[in-house]
Structure 1
Amino acid sequence: MRTRPATMAMKVPEITLVFWIAKLCTTGFGESFSDYVFFNDYIGQHAAMLMGLVLLLVCLAVQMSITKYIPWVYWLAVTAVSIFGTMSADFLNKDLGMPLYASTLMLVAVQIGVFAAWYATQRTLDVHSIDNRLRELFYWLTVLCTFALGTAAGDFAAVTLGLGTLASSFVFFGIILIPAVGYRWFRLNEVLAFWFAYTITRPLGASVADWLSVPAPYGDGLQLGTGPISLVLGILLAGVITVIASRHRRSDPPKAAPPNSVEGVQGTFRN
């Protein structure tokens, strides 16, 4: 008789305020660091893409190999996705010459296709149901799609629509309030609200990062440089992940000692 395989322990974090702060930090850092590497003449765009892909594969391999949620592993994987997702969208536009509206529409279609395949095979898109390998694969593919789509959408708003990075930041901030308000007061489905907000955090964070960092003649903001802003946002991201990891350690109950271990025997006598 074939037994049903055991489900995995949850490997994604709880959706709290600090989760959204960390997500925005990964989007901002991923945008600025990707721009710093991808448009660096000493590295080259193809070499940058290859390095980003290797980083992504290594981080996802580690994430997929562990059996529980480990904050540093998870958030490093999200950061790697952010970097490579940004490069992928820029590659479509800069190297392949695809107009921003076309790449945005194409990535919307890809993300809808991933959602459709995920739901057709698993009958759920809930991140709290990531308890088997296929769902985990769909989850990370969706995350990658959201980052690439968000980058294209942010550039489309700032460049093609002519809004600029600062105005785009305010537009996406207003858009991200829609799922928050809808979920809080109008009973919007929580899964839809989550993925809506998750997708919009990307162009929001990317627009803010571009406003801070992109130098002249391409930037329209403070033009502080992608390198310095990457460093600042990287330190901020590391600090947020440290806080998350510390809170996770305090909330994670210690494992019970085996009965035949020294701790277990001592505990038996104390009881």
Structure 2
Amino acid sequence: MRTRPATMAMKVPEIALIFWIAKLCTTGFGESFSDYVFFNDYIGQHAAMLMGLGLLLVCLAVQFATTKYTPWVYWLAVTAVSIFGTMSADFLNKDLGMPLYASTLMLVAVQIGVFAAWYATQRTLDVHSINNRLRELFYWLTVLCTFALGTAAGDFAAVTLGLGTLASSFVFLGIILIPAAGYRWFRLNEVLAFWFAYTITRPLGASVADWLSVPAPYGDGLQLGTGPISLVLGILLAGVVGMIGTRYLRADSLEAAPMEAAAEER
């Protein structure tokens, strides 16, 4: 007799407005901080990649070790994925000399492959069904792919297509409205709308961060510096995650109160 795989508590957040705000914060911070470290002559690109990989592995190990959704653990893992995903896309372009169109197409193919394998084995791509280890693994592989793809796509739009970072920001802002409108008014599949929007938040946040931060002679925006913008976005991200954590603890306490009262009555 075949046994069903063990299920576990949900370890991903509910999809609400605060989720998308936090996601955009991780994309902007990951882009600017990755650029600050990756293109830092005192560190070196190879050392930066190893540091990014080490941070990613530690954060994912902690995330996988948790037994339920824990806001600071989850969002720290997303931030680490954002940093390493950015570095991975930059490595393909800067170190391996892969054209941006080629790296974008390759990462699209990789993401489609992960989706195909996930659906073939689990028959769902719904984030609300992340309740076993294999689905959790596919989830984080997909998240990593979206960050790397988003970085490559953002650079492709800004550099190869010659749009620049500001115009690219508005282009991706328009694109992200497609799944939102499709889900709201045209009955677009919820799972498709989510992953479409999730992927596009990456180049949107990265384009805005590049417009704010990338210095001359490479930047075409405000050129405020990747270090200062990383600090500002890091503080903003910490504040948003702190708000999420506070709301989560409050909701957890409200759910626990009736159970404790019932136990006392017995």
Give the TM-score of the pair, scaled to structure 2. Answer: 0.96
Alignment partners' CA distance in 2, 1:76 and 1:156: 27
- Which residue of structure 2 lines up, in the alignment, with residue 26 of structure 1? 26
Task: Name the amino acid aligned to 2:212.
Answer: L
Alignment partners' CA distance in 2, 1:196 and 1:2: 35
Alignment partners' CA distance in 2, 1:5 and 1:89: 35
- Report the 3-state secondary structure (helix = DSSP H, G, I; strand = E; otherwise coil) of the residue aligned with 2:187: coil
* 1:78 is the counterpart of 2:78: yes
- Which residue of structure 1 lines up, in the alignment, with residue 256 of structure 2? 254
Alignment partners' CA distance in 1, 2:112 and 2:40: 33
Residue segments in structure 1 that go unaligned for 5+ positions in a row: none
Task: Name the amino acid aligned to 1:20.
Answer: W
- Which residue of structure 2 lines up, in the alignment, with residue 52 of structure 1? 52
- Which residue of structure 1 lines up, in the alignment, with residue 240 of structure 2? 240
Alignment partners' CA distance in 1, 2:55 and 2:6: 30
Q: Contact conserved, 2:5 with 2:132, CA < 8 A, in 1? A: no
- Which residue of structure 2 lines up, in the alignment, with residue 123 of structure 1? 123
Q: Deviations over 1:1-32 (max 9, x none)?
A: 77544311000000000000000000000000
Q: 4+ runs of 1 displaced by more than 4 Å?
A: none
- Report the 3-state secondary structure (helix = DSSP H, G, I; strand = E; otherwise coil) of the residue aligned with 2:162: coil
RMSD: 1.5
Task: Name the amino acid aligned to 1:18.
Answer: I
Q: Contact conserved, 2:27 with 2:82, CA < 8 A, in 1? A: yes
- Which residue of structure 2 lines up, in the alignment, with residue 39 of structure 1? 39
- Which residue of structure 2 lines up, in the alignment, with residue 169 of structure 1? 169
Give the drift of 1:238.
0.1
Alignment partners' CA distance in 2, 1:76 and 1:131: 20
Alignment partners' CA distance in 2, 1:31 and 1:185: 32
- Report the 3-state secondary structure (helix = DSSP H, G, I; strand = E; otherwise coil) of the residue aligned with 1:254: helix
- Which residue of structure 1 lines up, in the alignment, with residue 216 of structure 2? 216
The structure with more radius of gyration: 1
Alignment partners' CA distance in 2, 1:5 and 1:44: 44
Task: Name the amino acid aligned to 1:254.
Answer: A
Alignment partners' CA distance in 2, 1:107 and 1:2: 36
* 1:92 is the counterpart of 2:126: no
Q: Deviations over 1:193-246 (max 9, x none)?
A: 000000000000000000000000000000000000000000000000000000
Alignment partners' CA distance in 1, 2:23 and 2:2: 41
Alignment partners' CA distance in 2, 1:52 and 1:221: 26
Alignment partners' CA distance in 1, 2:73 and 2:226: 25
- Which residue of structure 1 lines up, in the alignment, with residue 160 of structure 2? 160
Give the drift of 1:145.
0.1
| Same amino acid, percent of matched pairs | 89
- Which residue of structure 2 lines up, in the alignment, with residue 15 of structure 1? 15
Give the TM-score of the pair, scaled to structure 1. Answer: 0.94
- Which residue of structure 2 lines up, in the alignment, with residue 133 of structure 1? 133
Task: Name the amino acid aligned to 1:28.
Answer: G
Aligned residue pairs, count: 263
Residue segments in structure 2 that go unaligned for 5+ positions in a row: none
